Amino acid sequence: MIVSKAKERQDVINMLEGVKSVFLLGCSECATLCGTGSPEALAEMKESLESIGKKVTGTFVAKTGCQVLGTKVELKANKEEVDAADAILVMSCGAGTQSMVEVFKDKKVYPANDTAFLGNMTRFQHFDERCSMCGECIIDKTGGICPVTTCPKGILNGPCGGTNNGFCEVSPDIECAWAKIYARMERTGELEKMRQIIPPKDYSKKLSPKVFVIEKKKEEK
Ligand code: SF4
Ligand code: SF4
């Protein structure tokens, strides 16, 4: 899931300087799980903005904010509320915010959140970064644990000389990714694979902006 953090409220207020009325849009997926785009978060934002004299013309939690066409269709029911607002304040990730830029080409659109990373929710409201979307997954060679992301140095053939009793030299709060990889591959009987040298990654696959189109399969003749 995409992890988002709410901006400081004062930063949002500063962003809305000169804006008298806003429409609030949330997202029922990642931003709701993060508590940054849920119905409760929207209600709290509405109350906060109204307390400083802003008019909130309406609120809506989109099913999937980054789905441009789906959100456009959903928002038809809120057309009057959106039209009445000077701006849309989007409480989702940056992708959801830019969906609104695409849908409402002449309307001001502002982000209420900072988008942080692709994360795993490992316990309630606790998110860990496990994958940094490098575009070429190699974790079949590392016991299913990603050294690109979970080793602060991104070492592909570790550990480095600083590994310390299972922890990382960068911080005693971080487990050494390569100690974890070793322990897991020992458990799964794949230790022999650790003798293979993983070649340098092709980081051109991580360059932005990316486009991915799923092509229709040709019908078999
Ligand atoms: S190697 Fe790591 S960063 Fe790359 S796709 Fe796999 S899990 Fe994600
Ligand atoms: S101690 Fe382990 S996790 Fe830390 S930088 Fe070295 S190999 Fe990576």
The 10s digit of each residue's pLDDT in 46-68 is: 999 999 999 999 999 999 999 99
Please report the pLDDT score of residue 103 as a whole number.
96
For residue 149, the CA-to-ligand 1 centroid distance in Å is: 7
Q: What is the mean pLDDT of the chain?
A: 96
Does position 218 have pLDDT exceeding 90, yes or no? no
Contact by Cβ (8 Å): 88, 104: yes
How remote is the CA of residue 161 from the centroid of ligand 2, in Å?
8
Lowest mean pLDDT among 76-85, 170-179, 210-219: 210-219
Contact predicate 111/48, CB 8 Å: no
Q: Could you tell me the domains of the chain? A: 2-116 (3.40.50.2300), 135-205 (no CATH)
* Beta-sheet pairing, 2-6 with 21-27: unpaired
Burial class of residue 116, CB neighbours in 10 A (0-12, 13-18, 19+): middle
Structure confidence at residue 82 (pLDDT): 98
Band of residue 217 on the pLDDT scale cut at 50, 70, 90 = confident
pLDDT of 219: 66
**Ligand 1 atom closest to the CA of 134, numbered from 1:** 4
Q: What is the mean pLDDT of residues 94-122?
A: 97
pLDDT at 220 over 90: no
Task: Quote the CA–CA distance of 174 and 162 in Å, as a whole number.
Answer: 12
3-state secondary structure of 69: helix
DSSP code, position 54: -
Compare 13 and 203 and report the one with higher pLDDT: 13
Determine the Cα–Cα distance for residues 196 and 102; give it in Å rounded to an integer: 47
Task: Compare 217 and 147 and report the one with higher pLDDT.
Answer: 147
Type of residue found at 139: I
Pocket of ligand 2 (CB under 6 A): 151-153, 155, 158-160, 162-163, 168-170, 176-178
Per-residue pLDDT tens over the stretch 126-152: 999 999 999 999 999 999 999 999 999
